């Protein structure tokens, strides 16, 4: 365990699996106490909490559906009530709903739900967390390379959600800069998780367009988040850090 985040309290939304679980573990490794949220994977969330506790930090898991902004605000409040403060908010929970503009099978409700989870919930979490954050506080949102570029058809809705959080990131950096709080987004390329497993025809095709020729690991996104959360990133705000193996190069 390193100690750069010792004494810090972090909340990672969607910390039960994939990138969020890797971020939770990395922040704990760096010394932070970590709360995670989940919507359906209680057993997985509980297992992550046990793993973090075994690393010598405090940890709790809280159920909160990011599709409901009331639950998101309550989540932030529960973390602040439990730990007495909040230093690092990582907006990670997200979903990937595809479908082209003229595809009749696209379910508009799922598109709206995606927007609620990927965008409105992020805004609700930041609004709830901002009053609790102090100078040195960190807000880090997991966007996507698809927020910058749209390399194939059928992902306009998802891409728009990730472009929206990049825009929010710049605006919130302005809103919170005077208080010494930094706001940034990490934009992953294809990362091997349940959302985008590295064992499909899609993955093989995607790798052709990645400079490094491979999918990333959740830990490689967690490393970027840990850097932005650390004191070393004190002068970085309002920007996006793309971690994509050169997909958007
Ligand atoms: P996974 O599907 O592997 O994990 C998603 C996580 O988000 C789970 O912890 C899940 O909780 C949680 N979650 C999903 N919906 C909700 C909800 N309604 N309320 C609360 N929690 C929810 O995804 P990844 O780890 O791959 O993705 C994490 C983030 O990274 C997302 O924002 C995604 O858009 C982004 N991203 C991923 C890329 C990739 O290639 N994997 C590429 C670029 C960006 P539960 O376990 O309870 O369901």
pLDDT of amino acid 3:
84
Task: Tell me the pLDDT tens digit for each residue of 26-49.
Answer: 999 999 999 999 999 999 999 999
- pTM of the complete model: 0.99
With a pLDDT cut of 70, the percent of the chain lying above it is: 100
Residue 196 beta carbon below 6 angstroms from any ligand 1 atom: yes
**Ligand 1: which atom is nearest the Cα of residue 215?**
40
Q: Catalogue the long-range contacts made by 233-236 (C-beta closer than 8 Å, 24 or more residues apart).
A: 233/138, 233/182, 233/184, 234/136, 234/182, 236/182, 236/184
Closest to 36 in 3D by CA, of 48, 54, 26: 48
Distance, CA of 140 to CA of 79 (rounded, Å): 17
- Which helix or strand (DSSP H or E) is residue 25 part of? helix 18-29
Per the annotation, the verdict on 158 as an active-site residue is yes
């Amino acid at each position: 365990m390193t100690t750069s985040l010792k004494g810090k309290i972090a909340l990672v939304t969607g910390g039960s699996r994939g990138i969020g679980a890797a971020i939770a573990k990395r922040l704990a490794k760096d010394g932070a106490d970590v709360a995670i949220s989940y919507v359906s994977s209680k057993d997985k969330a509980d297992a992550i909490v046990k793993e973090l506790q075994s690393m010598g930090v405090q940890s709790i898991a809280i159920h909160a559906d990011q599709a409901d902004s009331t639950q998101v605000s309550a989540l932030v409040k529960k973390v602040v009530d439990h730990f007495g403060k909040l230093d690092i908010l990582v907006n990670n929970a997200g979903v990937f709903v595809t479908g082209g503009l003229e595809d009749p099978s696209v379910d508009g409700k799922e598109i709206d739900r995606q927007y609620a989870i990927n965008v409105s919930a992020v805004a609700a979490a930041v609004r709830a967390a901002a009053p609790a954050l102090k100078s040195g506080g960190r807000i880090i949102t997991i966007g996507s390379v698809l927020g910058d570029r749209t390399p194939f058809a059928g992902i306009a809705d998802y891409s728009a959600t990730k472009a929206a959080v990049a825009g929010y990131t710049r605006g919130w950096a302005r809103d919170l800069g005077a208080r010494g709080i930094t706001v940034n987004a990490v934009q992953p390329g294809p990362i091997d998780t349940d959302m985008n497993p590295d064992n499909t025809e899609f993955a093989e095709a995607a790798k052709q367009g990645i400079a490094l020729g491979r999918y990333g690991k959740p830990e490689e996104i967690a490393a970027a988040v840990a850097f932005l959360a650390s004191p070393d990133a004190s002068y970085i705000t309002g920007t996006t850090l793309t971690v994509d193996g050169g997909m958007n190069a």
